[in-house]
Amino acid sequence: MPEKITHSHLAGPTGEPLLVDTIGRAFDRTAEQYPQACALVVRHQGIRWPYSEYQREIDRLACGLLALGLEPGDRVGIWAPNCYEWCLTQFATAKIGAIMVCINPAYRLYELEYALNIVQCKALITAEHFKSSDYLGMLQELAPELSNCPAGELQSEKLPHLTTVVRMGEGTSSGMFNFGRVCALGGEAERHRLAGIGNTLAPTDPINIQFTSGTTGNPKGATLTHLNILNNGKLVGDGMRLTQHDKLCIPVPLYHCFGMVMGNLACITHGSAAVFPSEAFEPGATLDAVAQERCTALHGVPTMFIGELDHPDFSRFDLSSLRTGIMAGAPCPVEVMKRVLSKMHMSEVLIAYGQTETSPVNHMTSADDPIEKRVGSVGRPAPHCEIKIVDAGGAVLPVGEQGEICCRGHSVMLGYWGDAERTAETIDRDGWLHSGDLGVMDEEGYTRVTGRIKDMIIRGGENIYPREVEEFLYTHPGIQEVQVFGIPDERYGEQVCAWIRLHKGTTLSEEDVRDYCRGQITHFKVPYLIRFVEDFPMTVTGKMQKFVMREQTIQALSPGD
C-alpha cells in the first residue's frame, strides 16, 4: 500500500531509467530484436508487416524525403486519417530529424492555412480526401499556384513557406509528388546520408508539433522532443505490460498523442503490433479487428467504448483475447467502466490522464489497482513525473482539497512553437506546467479530476463543477451520455444546462430528469435547462466541445432568432 501523504505533491517512480535516445534508434533496436514479430496491421489497406519489412519501408520513405531536399529541423505536415502512410511518415521524419506537424483531419481551409503558416511547414504529406473533405481540392484552392509549378517548387502567396506537397494514393496531381514515387527516390547516397544523420540527432531535439484542440481561439503548437514522446510511449506500454506477443487495436486518431504516442510508440518500445481497424473510428470495424486479429489491448475515449458496447451485433464478436488498454481523452463515467470490465474482458484496463503539453500522459492507474481506484481516479503520477495541486496563489494544498493540477518532468513540452508569451503563461519559472484542470489528490497519491477552471459554473455565488453533476446523471438507467455546462442568466449570473442523449427506446421529459435529481444533489446543481440530443459536437479525438454546445444553446434561447 502506498505511503500516506498529507499534501498534494508527489513524484512518480524512478526505478526504471528513462530512454535517453531518439525515436529512430529505438525503432531500429526493436526491429533488430524482433525482426519477424508482427509490427503493423492496417486492415482497411491490406497491410500486414513484420518489423523487418516495416523498417525497410520507413527507411525507403526517409531516403526519399532526403532526396526531396528536406533537412533536419524542417517542418513536415501530415494531413490524413489513420493509414500506413501516416505511420511511415511518423518514423521516417524522426529518422531524418525533420519535425512532423500533426494536422487535424477535420481542418477546413482557414485552419489549414493557419497551421501550415504558424509553424512554417516546408512540406506537406496529404491524403486525397477524408469523409466530406476534398484535401487535394482544398490545397489547390489555397495554393492555385500548384497547377503551374513543378513538384517541389511551389511559391504560394497564401502559403509562403510551403514548397513541397506529397499526395497519397495511386494518382498524380499537378505540382505534387506521389507518395509511392517519393519512397522510390532514394539511392545509395541517401542511404549513406540517413545513417550519418542518425548519429547527429539528440534526444532533446524537437521532433513533433501537436496543435492543442477543443478550446476557443487559435490552436497552439505544442512542441515535443524525442525524449518527451518516446518515454511517454514506453511508460504507457510498461503500464499495459506489453510484450512482443501483444497486439494493440488503435481506433483513436494518429494525429493526436493518443494514437501516435500511446499507440505507435507504446508498440515500438515493446515489440508489439499496432492494429488499425479503419481510417476513422467505426464501432463495428473496431470490434471486428479485435476479434479477427485476437488483439490483447484496445485504446479509446469513453464515447468510443460506449459506441462499441451499444453496437447492435456486440454479442457476436469474440473479445476474449482482450486483456488491457487505455481509456483516456475524457473523464470515464463509472457505469461505462463497469461494462468495459465485465463485457469486454479488459480486466487490466487503465485510465490515463494528461494533456498534449505533457506528451500526453502524466497520471496513470496500475493494472494492480483496485477497481474503485480505476473508476474513481486517474491514478498516481506517472514515472519520472512530479505532480502538485495548488491554490490560486500557487501554494500546495493539503490532500483532499481541490486545486489546479500542475506537472513537472521529462514529459513537459519545450513550449508552444514561436509563442514565448503563451508558453510563459503555461510553464512557470520552476518548470511547472499549469494544466488549467481542477483535481483532488487523496492521501495515497491518487488524483481525481473534477473539472476545468474555466468550466466551473458560478450560480448565485455557488461554485458548481459540471463533472459532479454529470456523474450523478449517469446513474439514471435511461441516460446514455450527458454533458453539463453553464449558460448566462440575468438573475444568477449562470445557470446549469445539461445536454442528454438517452438509451434507445427510453423516453424522458425534462421534469423526469429534475425529479430524479431532487433530493439527490443540491438544488442549485439541478439542471435549469435540459436539452435531449442525438449527438454532441466533439473534436476528432473525442473531446466534447462544450463551448460549441454553450453557443448553440444561447443562440436557441435568444429572442427573435
CA of 278: how far to CAs of 253, 254, 381, 460, in Å? Answer: 10, 12, 33, 48
Local confidence band at 128 (pLDDT 50, 70, 90 cut-offs)? very high
Residue type, 527: P
Local confidence band at 1 (pLDDT 50, 70, 90 cut-offs)? low
What's the 3-state SS for 518-552?
ECCECHHHCCCEEEECCCCCECCCCCECHHHHHHH
Distance separating the N- and C-terminal Cα atoms of the chain: 58
Name beta bridge partners: 544.
538
Question: Which letter, b or e, does each residue of 486-506 get, where b requires 16 or more Cβ atoms within 10 Å of its Cβ?
Answer: bbeeeebebbbbbbbbbeeee
Please name the helix (run of DSSP H) or strand (run of DSSP E) that holds residue 23, with its range, or none: helix 23-33
Provide CB contacts within 8 A for 126, sequence distance 6+: 77, 78, 79, 80, 135, 136, 139, 165, 166, 167, 168
What the chain holds in terms of domains, given with CATH numbers, is 23-211 (3.40.50.980), 457-557 (3.30.300.30)
pLDDT tens-digit profile of 35-63? 999 999 999 999 999 999 999 999 999 99
Q: Is 498 helix (H, G, I), strand (E, B) or coil?
A: strand
pLDDT of residue 454: 75
* Range with lowest mean pLDDT among 101-110, 189-198, 201-210: 101-110
pLDDT of residue 214: 36
CA of 447: how far to CAs of 54, 138, 236, 364, 388, in Å? Answer: 39, 44, 18, 10, 10
Alpha helices, DSSP H only, in 386-509?
420-426, 466-473
Q: What is the DSSP letter of 279?
A: S
Phi, psi of 43 (to 5 degrees): -65, -40
Bigger pLDDT: 131 vs 240: 240
Local confidence band at 455 (pLDDT 50, 70, 90 cut-offs)? confident
pLDDT tens-digit profile of 91-124? 999 999 999 999 989 888 888 999 999 999 999 9
Mean pLDDT, the chain, integer: 94
Q: What is the DSSP letter of 316?
A: G
Q: Calculate mean pLDDT across residues 230-253.
A: 98
* pLDDT over 50 at 216, yes or no: no
Half-sphere exposure of 284 (CA within 13 A, CB side): 3
**Cell numbers that stand for 499 in this block:** 445536454
The string of DSSP letters for 103-147 reads: --TT--HHHHHHHHHHTT-SEEEE-S-BTTB-HHHHHHHH-GGGG
* Range with lowest mean pLDDT among 299-313, 336-350, 450-464: 450-464
Q: Is 348 helix (H, G, I), strand (E, B) or coil?
A: strand
pLDDT of residue 561: 47
Task: Report d(CA 294, CA 323) in Å as an integer.
Answer: 11
Q: Calculate mean pLDDT across residues 505-514.
A: 96
pLDDT of residue 152: 98
Bigger pLDDT: 350 vs 337: 350
* pLDDT over 50 at 268, yes or no: yes
Bigger pLDDT: 281 vs 467: 281
pLDDT of residue 335: 82
Phi, psi of 33 (to 5 degrees): -80, -35
Bigger pLDDT: 329 vs 313: 313
Please name the helix (run of DSSP H) or strand (run of DSSP E) that holds residue 361, with its range, or none: strand 361-364
pLDDT tens-digit profile of 362-409? 999 999 898 888 888 999 999 999 999 999 999 999 999 999 999 999
pLDDT of residue 516: 95
Cα dihedral 545/546/552/554 (nearest 10): -160
Local confidence band at 468 (pLDDT 50, 70, 90 cut-offs)? confident
**Cell numbers that stand for 298 in this block:** 484496445
* Range with lowest mean pLDDT among 194-208, 428-442, 533-547: 533-547
**Pairing relationship of beta strands 385-390 and 380-381 according to DSSP bridges:** unpaired
pLDDT tens-digit profile of 537-561? 987 777 788 989 999 999 999 875 4
Question: Which letter, b or e, does each residue of 263-289 get, where b requires 16 or more Cβ atoms within 10 Å of its Cβ?
Answer: bbbbbbbbbbbbbbbbbbbbbbbbbbb
Q: Provide the edge-to-edge strand list for the sheet that holds 403-409.
A: 9-11, 385-390, 403-409, 433-441, 447-452
**Cβ count near 66 (within 10 Å):** 23
Q: Calculate mean pLDDT across residues 322-342.
A: 87
